[in-house]
Chains A and B, each alone.
Chain A
Amino acid sequence: MSDVPTSDPRSAAGEPPAGRRGFSRRRLLAGAGAGTGLVIGAAAGFAGGRASASSASESGGDVVDLDRSYDFYTGTHQAGIQTEPQRYCVYMTFDLGEVTTQDLQVLLARWSAGIAQLMAGQPVGAVEPDRADAVADDTGEAYGLQPSSLTVTVGLGPGVFDERFGLAAKKPTLLADLPALPSDALKPELTGGDLSLQACADDPQVAYHAIRDLARMGRGTVTTRWTVMGFGRASAGKGQQTPRNLMGFKDGTRNIKDAADFDRFVWVGGSENQAWMRGGTYQVVRKIEMNIETWDADRISDQENVFGRTKQEGAPLTGRSEFDTPRFDEKKDGRPVIPATSHIALAAHENNNGIKILRRPYNYTDGINDLGHLDAGLLFICYQNDPGHFIRLQTKLGGSDLLNEYISHVGSGIFAIPPAPKPGHYLAEGLFT
């Protein structure tokens, strides 16, 4: 697997990582919610030589170890996709300005080197330079913080392959702007972008610092377009407890978790004619606003019919526990127990020619809107080896999902996610050779 956690080799050797001198304290976060218990050793596999000092908190098997770090230069898939979802995420898209192909090349190389530093928990240059007139290269707010499982995932939008950069011949066949989909309420200022960065970490300040310093590196080459800060994960990876979205329902119970499904539905395979894209994937992102107040006033039976699941346990309406397989043909009084227009009935792979997508969403809030309502929702991010899979699902959902009364897709983007480079190389290097 590509993104197995690794401990910093310098840490394993008993030395603090460069730029973190004198800082060896381990910090562990308690799992969300009540019922936390200490698990000794669960994190030891990540902690290398310092395992003797390790302890971890968990809730429902959900361990957060702020010392955990992931490798950037795996040569296989980028981290932040198959990686167990971290607690927080900052997502930002960028537009390429009046720049040359070389500027884009240098930016992708600088970002690659910078991301490798950041994921290892290291600054991207001096926080306090020696020379009085120097400007610090690293902005400093993550100094002394642990790697916190940071992953930064870089995406290339369709605009990279337009007439500006002479890269049209390198364009993956399946990369194109999403078509207009039913129920779309997209705002131009929350849609599109030539490049995307998804920074996820178990410490929100670590994720924000990564985006800030990478945006800074990009100034002059890219301009910021839109951003969403996700404060809580709304999907589970392997071994993680299924978290809840802001509607209070478990999200991602039937998500892709097994390696075989990743190969079948997520990773772009060897038959892709653009060699640089093999091992990559496609990212679709949607900013989905929720009508929080209206939802909160809805009766429980209706809420459960909207999703097709019970609220507390998350069981399908035809079952008793969360992971029971839903039975969409089960009827009561002549009507399906799970309504045909419920969210899970429309999205289930059984009802979509077996299609699955990897969902990796986060809950977000933007404060209060013009009407005084809570402005919040879901930063929906999904990965698939064919964007057509998302289009097919969303065409159905946007058309008849009972949930549509309570949500609205206001932002959107699609990006090709190249594979991770090997050491000594950079992301999407194949575009320039």
Chain B
Amino acid sequence: MPTPLRRSPVLAAIAVVSLAALAACGSGSGSKSDSSSAKGSGASRVTISLASGSNGDECQVDTTKVDAGPVTFTIDNKSATAITEVELQSDQKILGERENLAPGLPSTSFTLTLGGGNYTIYCPGASDEDVDFTVTGKAAPTPTGSAATLLAQGTKSYATYVSTQVNAMVTAVKNLQRAVDSGDVAAAQEKYALARPFYEKIESDVEGFVLPGHKPTDNAGNLDYLIDMRASNLDPKVGWHGFHAVERDLFARKAITPSTKKLAAELTRNVQSLAKLSKSLTYKPEDLANGAAGLLEEVQTNKISGEEEKYSHIDLVDFAANVEGAEESFASLKPGLTKIDPGLTKQITQRFAAVDRMLDGYRDAQALGGYERYTPQLKKTDANKLSQTVQALQDPLASIAEKVATAG
């Protein structure tokens, strides 16, 4: 049954859903078990109580049958330590959920408009995880604004983003090649920094391509190897190609040789091949989510370590590009994800903003690529902050693939 709201000067962040809904539940409709009396002021009300019992933590639902229409689910964790989230599902698809549940926190709620049919209240960690839930009345027509529809629209806009980046990369690499051909080291360094971000923005989508006629295990046909391989991971049989071989010539040797020109021309050919092959890409919502998480892994593994741009030290340029790519993926999923879990969506939005704010602090219009050089000294003083700020985003971002893959 609904319990009165705990009087607290601060409502937990998880409970910011709707003050009105919380207050309504606080005024209490009593222990009503039939659908008609559980309904009042437009929305049916369902209270889900989480409590530890003799068989472990239990997920108790006061009403398992309501009329079609808006339904407000209020979740109150009284004493269940093993249950930290509750979902409403239909056919294994998540329609709505609340996370970060813990005993003692104020109750939290969410409202969904449900058509007639069978649903499941899923309480992972409970002794009985699934509670059947029935909605009587007209089956809802396939909603135009459902989470799944919105997510599918998002993947389309993301596909456009990727092809824009690929095309821009081809242009930028051609500019790099032209500067290398001119023999002007300073100009080529500048064009190098301008060409780098595009691949970093979409790396997780395009890193799987193999040139026609090559086996997947053959690095001589692996486009990611040919375009973006660093000195630390070379395959001696295939040798060094791509951006970072050019980077070594321009920044370590500070010299353009015939070999540099050959590398730059080859890089142009390879990004052109990549542009052609990437036209075949299609995306599921979880691909975007996994790709975004993958880009942040790139940040943690290669940028904060300073390994990516060992000679030019423009790691923060790549860092910002990885973050932009991840943010673009997330933005494409955001309308659908908001339907599923507005709290989580807001949290991730805020943490992207925190990373962006942090990166803004390193902007330097005079520097190559627009960001401070990531020198060993800067790494020593700032790597901890950079890494922990990204980590705070990485964890919740990694959790969204599951949700968008199963969205209803």
A to B CB contacts below 8 Å, 6 in the list: A102-B11, A106-B102, A131-B402, A133-B402, A421-B104, A432-B9
* Cross-chain contact B6 with A433 (CB below 8 angstroms): yes
Separation of A25 and B154 alpha carbons in the complex (Å): 51
Are A424 and B79 interface neighbours, CB within 8 A?
A: yes
* B290 on the A face (CB < 8 A): yes
Q: Does B56 contact A (CB under 8 A)?
A: yes
For A191, list chain B residues within 8 Å (CB): none
Q: Known contacts A131-B406, A423-B52; is A219 also within 8 Å of B395 by CB?
A: yes
- Residues on the B chain within 8 Å of A98, using CB: 354
A429: Cβ under 8 A from any B Cβ: yes
B363 within 8 A of A: no
Complex contact A113–B395 (CB within 8 A): no
- Determine the residue in chain A with the shortest Cβ distance to B357: A98
Give the 6 A-B residue pairs with the shortest CB-CB distance, closest first.
Answer: A220-B392, A109-B102, A134-B402, A113-B81, A426-B104, A133-B401
Whether B12 pairs with A105 at a CB distance below 8 angstroms is yes
A253 within 8 A of B: no
Taking the complex as formed, is A375 at the interface, i.e. its CB lies under 8 A from any CB of chain B? no
Q: State whether the Cβ of A126 lies closer than 8 Å to any Cβ in chain B.
A: yes
> What separation, in Å, do the CA atoms of A118 and B367 have in the docked complex?
49
A103 with B402: CB separation less than 8 A:
no
CB distance from B289 to the nearest CB of A (A): 8
Q: Which residues of B contact A358 (CB under 8 A)?
A: none
Chain A: how many interface residues by the 8 Å CB criterion? 42
Name the one of A117, A131, A219, A421 contacting B405, with C-beta atoms under 8 angstroms: A131
A116-B80 Cα distance, complex, nearest whole Å: 10
Is B36 close to A, CB under 8 A?
Answer: no
Contact B104 A112 (CB under 8 A): yes
B391 near A219 (CB under 8 angstroms)? yes
| Per-residue interface assignment for chain A, residues 118 to 155, with 1 indicating a CB less than 8 Å from any chain B CB and 0 otherwise | 00001001100101111101000000000000000000
Tell me whether A110 is interfacial, beta carbon within 8 Å: yes
| Chain B residues within 8 Å of A, Cβ to Cβ | 6-14, 52, 54, 56, 78-82, 84, 100, 102-105, 124-125, 127, 286, 289-290, 347, 351, 354, 388, 391-396, 398-399, 401-402, 405-406
Closest to A72 in B: B81
Residue A114 at the chain B interface, CB threshold 8 Å = yes
Quick one: given A133-B402, A423-B79, A424-B78, are A109 and B105 in contact (CB under 8 Å)? Answer: yes
* Interface pair B402/A113, CB less than 8 Å apart: no
A109: chain B residues at CB < 8 Å are 12, 102-105
Distance in angstroms from B194 CB to nearest chain A CB is 33
Shortest Cβ gap from B198 to chain A (Å): 28
Known: A109-B12, A109-B105, A126-B125. 16 other contacts (CB 8 A): A100-B10, A102-B10, A102-B11, A105-B12, A106-B100, A106-B105, A113-B103, A117-B81, A220-B392, A423-B79, A423-B103, A424-B104, A426-B104, A426-B105, A432-B8, A433-B8
- Name the residue on B nearest A424 (C-beta): B79
Q: How far is the CB of A433 from chain B (nearest CB, A)?
A: 6
| Contact residues in B for A122 (Cβ distance below 8 Å) | 82
Interface residues of A in 61-106 (CB under 8 A from B): 97-98, 100-103, 105-106
B12, A106: Cβ atoms closer than 8 Å: yes
Interchain CB contact under 8 A, A112 and B102 = yes
Closest A-chain residue to B401, C-beta based? A133
Residues of chain B lying within 8 A (CB to CB) of residue A125: 82, 84, 124-125
B236 → chain A closest CB, angstroms = 34
Interface centre among B80, B81, B395 (most CB of A within 10 A): B81
CA of A299 to CA of B391 in the docked complex: distance in angstroms?
A: 50
Q: Is A396 an interface residue (CB 8 A)?
A: no
* Cα distance, A132 to B404, chains bound together (Å): 12
In the bound complex, CA of A127 to CA of B392 (Å)? 21
For B6, the chain A residues whose CB sits under 8 A away are 433
Residues of A within 8 A of B (CB): 9-10, 18, 97-98, 100-103, 105-106, 109-110, 112-114, 116-117, 122, 125-126, 129, 131-135, 137, 216, 219-221, 223-224, 421, 423-426, 429, 432-433
Contact call A106/B13, Cβ cutoff below 8 A = yes
Per the bound structure, the CA–CA distance linking A53 and B105 in Å amounts to: 40
A95 and chain B: residue at smallest CB distance: B388
Q: Are B395 and A220 in contact (CB under 8 A)?
A: yes
- The contact of B392 among A97, A106, A114, A129, by CB within 8 Å, is A97
Residues of B within 8 Å of A134, CB to CB, are 399, 401-402
Please report the C-alpha to C-alpha distance between residue A344 and residue B127 in the assembled complex, in whole angstroms: 54
How far, in angstroms, from A25 to B405 measured CA to CA in the complex? 39
- A110 x B402 contact (CB < 8 A): no
CB pair B13 A135 closer than 8 Å:
no
Q: A126 CA to B85 CA in the complex, in Å? A: 12
Task: For B127, list chain A residues within 8 Å (CB).
Answer: 18
**Chain A neighbourhood of B10, CB < 8 A:** 100-102, 105, 432
Least CB distance from B395 to A in Å reads 5
CA distance A215 to B7 in the complex (A): 29
Known: A125-B125, A219-B392, A423-B52. A100 touches B13 (CB 8 A): yes
Contact check, A113 vs B14: say whether CB atoms are below 8 A apart: no
- A432 — which chain B residues lie within 8 A by C-beta? 8-10
List of B residues within 8 angstroms of A224 by Cβ = 388
Kindly provide the distance from the CB of B220 to the nearest chain A CB, expressed in whole angstroms. 33
The answer to whether A425 touches B392, judged by C-beta atoms less than 8 angstroms apart, is: no
A425–B6 alpha-carbon span in the complex (Å): 12
CB-based contact B351/A220 at 8 Å = yes
Residues of the A chain whose Cβ atoms lie less than 8 Å from the Cβ of B82: 18, 117, 122, 125
B103 near A424 with CB under 8 A, answer yes
Known: A101-B10, A105-B10. Is A135-B398 also a contact (CB below 8 A)? yes
Beta-carbon contact of B104 and A102 below 8 Å: no
Query: A429 → chain B, closest Cβ, in Å?
Result: 6
CA distance A253 to B347 in the complex (A): 51
Residues from chain B with Cβ under 8 Å of A110 in the complex: 84, 100, 102
Cα A235 to Cα B8 with chains together (Å): 41
Contact in complex: B7, A220 (CB < 8 Å):
no
Min C-beta distance of B101 to chain A, whole Å = 8
A425 to B, closest residue via Cβ: B104
* Contact of A103 (CB < 8 Å), options: B13, B124, B354: B13
User: In the assembled complex, which residues on chain B have CB atoms less than 8 Å from the CB atom of A135?
Assistant: 398-399, 401-402
Enumerate chain A residues within 8 angstroms of B81, measured Cβ to Cβ: 112-114, 116-117
B103 to chain A: which residues have CB within 8 Å?
109, 112-113, 423-426
Question: In the complex, what's the smallest C-beta–C-beta distance from A100 to chain B, in angstroms?
Answer: 7
